[in-house]
């Protein structure tokens, strides 16, 4: 049974028999999903029929090779489960189809291919969005070993350790290969390999020649991928187990030995339509459908095991029917299991927050000797220096955090030698070396994919996005991917990160929309994403400490918006007054999530609720209101924009009865609307409310920008109108 099946073959009789069994299990899982769907007992019918050859990749890779799977990679999933004793793969998959709360990976939140003991990180169905993080995980593997001495899984001890010579598996369809996200990831992998950077990722393209109803031009995938620099192209036939075993062995061997990206192009066929709801005769003739059926890989495998005397026709049929029965039994049990039944249950793993632990971690200072070394002497510790502006304090805080977390990495466009467009990362590259502070290629999806991958491997990524407008270019990596991982894995997988973004408007002499993007709406509604926005240097440092702690303790994804116009701002009321310079806070001080800064807390004529540039403008407006009109204004700098501290907002609003919201974001969909809602919902008595906001427009170039943004004059005017 263990000898090569034919002279020179890579697979044995045992390989064939077991792979065939996995293929049959996979097929029955497809069939049972449709049977259950018809009874309204399961809710997902995209299957793997015709793609079962991918079981070979499941067999030849290890269960500790992290994997990101195509929705048709059931064969891989079933075959890999052999490597983890005690798994009941049939039952687990049906629990997932039936949206049972007992589904071990997603707990009934989605049908996903995912498993903790099998190192399969769950993916939902957004085409190609998993490729950037697969590349990030492959690069992160080596980086983690280099920085930590060993690869430590994200959940520190909860996952099986990933050996040093692991590879990352990532499967997807032929049509998905065209997606710009896929192309970006393939390019990034090639870019890394071209420079001899280890990037052991095995891309598996399961090519069935079609995407829903759209044919892929025959030969296109090969023509597109065969000759990419840095990428090694292999081809195999997923409809023939012996050939597929040979091809996969070769591709996996190359990837593992050379630590280089491999594109494995696997021929498959799609059967049973795109999904249970797909009416295939609308775009395929019956002859075409019959031709696909004739290529059924299960028929081919049955032929092989019979040809080689491994099973008789009767045994094949018996086994196929026995699996049907096992599946049926498992289904009958699975559908009786409880489902999620309340919003609380659904959301439980979405956004864990253990405030005490987070705050303690945020206040834990880095080792003193290490700080002295990083800052170049005890006298140069930043808390001993003169008050400075925002960019300098962010820079000092990043140095401090790099000292505190040896697994922290800062990366993005121009962050290394140049130190960032605004010098916030200046010096990090020199001090902490290129393994921890490095320039990426110019692609935001890759930057955020790297961040997810590094986090998967136990690192603490601080990706930088050069401008807010360029976050919008890649927001699916946060919206669809990073923020959904805890949700779709019951918090078993985490990809903590702090994404710093140079943000918002009011840049003098540099502008137009792209460098002054003031819309944070596309961040605000992302479930679980924390949004921080400091307005001054000391707050920024203390908030960054909390952000890192949120990532470390609870695995959270944080967007840290840095108001560009305040980076270099030194004065408040008059030129040279130094009113916006602040001392660096001692390293054991931090600002808890949600806590605002309140200026003039006893003032009660009016409360201005604001953030970012609005704080600086409101303070100036408040002085005028006091000096010229005798009005006492309280100013609340929210500092944390999500989750919004609605209780605090309502409390301040109620205390005054008059609220002016200064929101430099847009009129529609912005923070101001949420603040108004918080006041209406949270205050018993009516509150007079007004807002000064950005217009629903892109920011124009030059002084015209002032016409569409809040200003000190407009704040004073609006304040007076409600007094």
Ligand X SMILES: Cc1ncc(C[n+]2csc(CCOP(=O)(O)OP(=O)(O)O)c2C)c(N)n1
Count residues contacting ligand X (CB under 6 A)?
15
DSSP 292: H
Phi-psi region of 488 (alpha: psi -120 to 50; beta: other; left: phi over 0): alpha
- Using DSSP's 3-state secondary structure scheme, residue 633 falls into strand
Q: At what angle do helices 368-375 and 390-404 cross, to 10 degrees?
A: 130
> Which DSSP letter does residue 459 get?
-
Interaction pattern, residues 486-525, with Mg ion; x per rule: CB under 5 A:
----------------------------------------
Question: Which residue of 5, 90, 127, 251 would you call a contact of ligand X, by CB under 6 A?
Answer: 127
For position 638 contacting ligand X by CB under 6 A, the verdict is: no
Task: Rounding to the nearest 10 degrees, give the CA dihedral for residues 117, 123, 128, 129.
Answer: -100
Instruction: Check residue 133 for interaction with ligand X (CB under 6 A).
Output: no
Sign of CA pseudo-dihedral 543, 541, 582, 524:
negative
Binding mask 272-311 for ligand X (x = CB under 6 A): --x-------------------------------------
Which letter, b or e, does each residue of 144-175 get, where b requires 16 or more Cβ atoms within 10 Å of its Cβ?
bbebeeebbbbeeeebeebeeebbbbbbbbbb
175 binding ligand X? (CB under 6 A): yes
Does residue 267 interact with ligand X by CB under 6 A?
no
Residue 127 vs 544, nearer CB to ligand X: 127
In the complex, minimum distance from the CB of residue 477 to Mg ion, in angstroms, rounded to a whole number: 23
Give the bridge partners for 561, in sequence order.
Answer: 501
- What is the distance between the alpha carbons of residues 445 and 462, in angstroms, rounded to a whole number? 14
Rounded to a whole number of angstroms, the minimum distance from the CB of residue 38 to ligand X is: 22
Of 209 and 419, which CB lies nearer to Mg ion in the complex structure?
Answer: 209
End-to-end CA distance of the chain: 89
What is the spatial distance between Cα 592 and Cα 361, in angstroms, rounded to a whole number? 11
Question: Quick one: 107 or 173, whose CB is closer to Mg ion?
Answer: 173
Partner whose binding site includes residue 126, from Mg ion, ligand X, none (CB under 5 to 8 Å by kind): ligand X
- Taking the least distance from each CB to ligand X, the nearer of 216 and 425 is 216
At how many degrees (to 10) do helices 671-682 and 646-656 cross?
70
Neighbours of 441 (CB within 10 A): 13
DSSP 48-83: -TT-GGGHHHHHHS-TTS-EE--TT-HHHHHHHGGG
Query: Which residue of the chain is nearest ligand X when measured via CB?
Result: 173
Only one of the segments 49-57, 166-174, 351-359, 476-484 lies at the binding site for Mg ion (rule: CB under 5 A); that segment is 166-174
Question: Which residues ranging from 200 to 259 are in contact with ligand X (CB under 6 A)?
Answer: 206, 208, 210-212
What's the closest the beta carbon of residue 563 comes to ligand X, in angstroms?
A: 32
Of 238, 245, 155, 230, give the one whose Cα is nearest residue 200: 230
Contact by Cβ (8 Å): 161, 151: yes
Residues in region 205-224 near Mg ion by CB under 5 A: 208, 210-211
* Nearer CB in complex with ligand X: 270/658: 270
The stretch among 119-127, 249-257, 505-513, 554-562 that binds ligand X (CB under 6 A) is 119-127
Q: Which does 72 bind (CB under 5 to 8 A by kind): ligand X, Mg ion, none?
A: ligand X
Q: Can you tell me the distance from the alpha carbon of 494 to that of 611, in angstroms, rounded to the nearest whole number?
A: 29
- Contacting Mg ion (CB under 5 A), which of 30, 52, 174, 673? 174
| Nearest-angstrom CA–CA distance, 233 and 250 | 11
Cα 459 to chain centroid distance, Å, stands at 14
Among 53, 114, 140, 173, binds ligand X (CB under 6 A): 173
Query: What sections of 555-645 are H helices per DSSP?
Result: 564-567, 613-629
Looking at 28, 62, 63, 72, which residue binds ligand X (CB under 6 A)?
Answer: 72
CA nearest to 548, candidates 419, 441, 394, 417: 394
Our finding on whether 75 is near ligand X (CB under 6 A) is no
Least distance from C-beta 228 to Mg ion, angstroms? 20
Output 44 or 429, the one with its CB closest to ligand X.
44
CB 217 within 8 A of CB 161: no
Residue 214 or 286: which CB sits closer to Mg ion?
214
Q: What are phi and psi of 399, to 5 degrees?
A: -60, -45
Q: Which residue is nearest to Mg ion (CB)?
A: 173
Q: Which is nearer to Mg ion, 292 or 398 (CB)?
A: 292
Which C-beta is closer to ligand X: that of 57 or that of 708?
57
CB of 523 to ligand X, least distance (A): 20
Minimum distance, C-beta of residue 357 to Mg ion, in the bound complex (Å) = 46
**Residue 125: contacted member of ligand X, Mg ion, none (CB under 5 to 8 Å, by partner type):** ligand X
Which residue of 110, 270, 371, 620 would you call a contact of ligand X, by CB under 6 A?
Answer: 270
Binders in 179-208 for Mg ion, by CB under 5 A:
208
**Of the two residues 173 and 670, which places its CB atom closer to ligand X in the complex?**
173
When the beta carbons of 216 and 466 are compared against ligand X, the nearer one is 216
User: Distances from the Cα of 179 to the Cαs of 42, 122, 274, 438, in angstroms?
Assistant: 30, 20, 18, 27
CB contact at 8 A, 494 and 154:
yes
Which listed option, ligand X, Mg ion, none, makes contact with residue 127 (CB within 5 to 8 Å by class)? Answer: ligand X
Options 107, 132, 173, 230; binder of Mg ion; rule CB under 5 A:
173
Closer to Mg ion by Cβ: residue 208 or 236: 208
* 125 makes contact with ligand X (CB under 6 A): yes
Which residues contribute to the site for ligand X (CB under 6 A)?
Answer: 72, 125-127, 173-176, 206, 208, 210-212, 270, 274
């Amino acid at each position: 049974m263990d000898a090569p099946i034919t002279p020179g073959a890579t697979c044995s009789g045992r390989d064939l028999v077991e792979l065939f069994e996995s293929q049959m299990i996979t097929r029955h899982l497809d069939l049972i999903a449709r049977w259950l769907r018809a009874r309204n007992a399961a809710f997902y019918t995209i299957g793997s029929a015709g793609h079962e050859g991918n079981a070979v990749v499941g067999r030849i890779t290890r269960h500790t090779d992290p994997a990101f799977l195509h929705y048709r990679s059931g064969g891989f999933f079933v075959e890999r489960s052999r490597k983890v004793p005690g798994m009941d793969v049939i039952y687990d998959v049906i629990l997932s189809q039936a949206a049972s709360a007992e589904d071990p990976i997603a707990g009934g939140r989605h049908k996903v291919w995912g498993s903790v003991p099998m190192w399969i990180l769950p993916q939902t169905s957004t085409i190609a969005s998993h490729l950037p993080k697969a590349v990030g995980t492959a690069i992160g593997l080596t980086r983690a070993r280099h920085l930590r001495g060993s690869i430590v899984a994200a959940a520190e001890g909860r996952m099986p350790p990933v050996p040093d010579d692991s590879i990352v598996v990532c499967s997807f369809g032929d049509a998905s290969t065209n997606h710009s996200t896929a192309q970006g990831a393939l390019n990034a992998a090639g870019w890394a390999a071209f420079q001899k950077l280890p990037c052991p990722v095995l891309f598996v393209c399961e090519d069935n020649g079609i995407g829903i109803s759209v044919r892929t031009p025959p030969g296109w995938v090969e023509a597109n991928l065969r000759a990419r620099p840095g990428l090694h192209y292999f081809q195999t036939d997923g409809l023939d187990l012996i050939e597929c075993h040979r091809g996969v062995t070769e591709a996996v061997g190359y990837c593992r030995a050379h630590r280089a990206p491999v594109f494995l192009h696997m021929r498959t066929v799609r059967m049973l339509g795109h999904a249970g709801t797909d009416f295939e005769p609308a775009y395929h003739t019956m002859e075409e459908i019959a031709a696909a059926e004739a290529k059924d890989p299960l028929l081919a495998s049955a032929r092989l095991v019979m040809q080689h005397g491994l099973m008789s026709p009767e045994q094949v049929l018996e086994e196929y029917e026995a699996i049907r029965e096992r599946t049926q039994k498992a289904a009958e049990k699975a559908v009786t299991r409880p489902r999620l039944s309340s919003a609380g249950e659904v959301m439980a793993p979405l956004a864990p927050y253990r405030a005490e632990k987070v705050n303690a971690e945020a206040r834990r200072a880095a080792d003193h000797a290490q700080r002295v070394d990083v800052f170049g002497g005890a006298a140069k510790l930043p808390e001993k220096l003169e008050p400075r502006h925002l960019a300098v304090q962010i820079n000092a805080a990043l140095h401090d955090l790099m000292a505190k977390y040896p697994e922290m990495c800062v990366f993005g466009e121009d962050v290394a030698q140049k130190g960032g467009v605004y010098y916030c990362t200046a010096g990090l590259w020199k001090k902490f070396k290129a393994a921890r502070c490095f320039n990426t290629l110019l692609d935001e999806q890759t930057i955020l994919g790297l961040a997810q991958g590094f986090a998967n491997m136990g690192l603490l990524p601080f990706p930088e996005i050069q401008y807010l407008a360029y976050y919008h270019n890649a927001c699916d990596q946060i919206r669809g991917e990073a923020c959904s991982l805890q949700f779709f894995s019951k918090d078993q997988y985490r990809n903590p990160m702090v994404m710093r973004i140079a943000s918002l408007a009011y840049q003098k002499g540099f502008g137009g929309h792209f460098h002054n993007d003031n819309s944070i709406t596309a961040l605000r509604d992302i479930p679980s994403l924390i949004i921080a926005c400091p307005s001054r240097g000391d707050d920024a440092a203390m908030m960054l400490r909390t952000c890192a702690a949120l990532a470390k303790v609870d695995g959270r994804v944080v967007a840290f918006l840095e108001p560009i116009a305040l980076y270099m701002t030194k004065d408040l009321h008059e030129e040279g007054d130094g009113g916006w310079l602040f001392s660096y806070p001692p390293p054991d001080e931090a600002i808890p999530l949600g806590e605002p800064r309140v200026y003039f807390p006893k003032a009660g004529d009016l409360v201005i609720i604001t953030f970012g540039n609005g704080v600086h403008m409101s303070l100036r407006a408040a002085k005028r209101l006091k000096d010229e009109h005798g009005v006492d204004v309280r100013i609340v700098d929210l500092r944390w924009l999500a989750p919004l501290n609605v209780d605090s907002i309502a409390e301040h609003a109620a205390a005054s009865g008059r609220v002016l919201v200064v929101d430099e974001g847009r009129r529609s969909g912005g923070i101001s609307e949420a603040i108004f809602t918080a006041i209406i919902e949270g205050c018993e008595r009516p509150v007079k409310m007004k807002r000064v906001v950005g217009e629903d427009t892109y920011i124009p170039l030059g002084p015209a920008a002032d016409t569409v943004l809040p200003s000190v004059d407009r704040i004073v005017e609006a304040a007076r109108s409600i007094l």
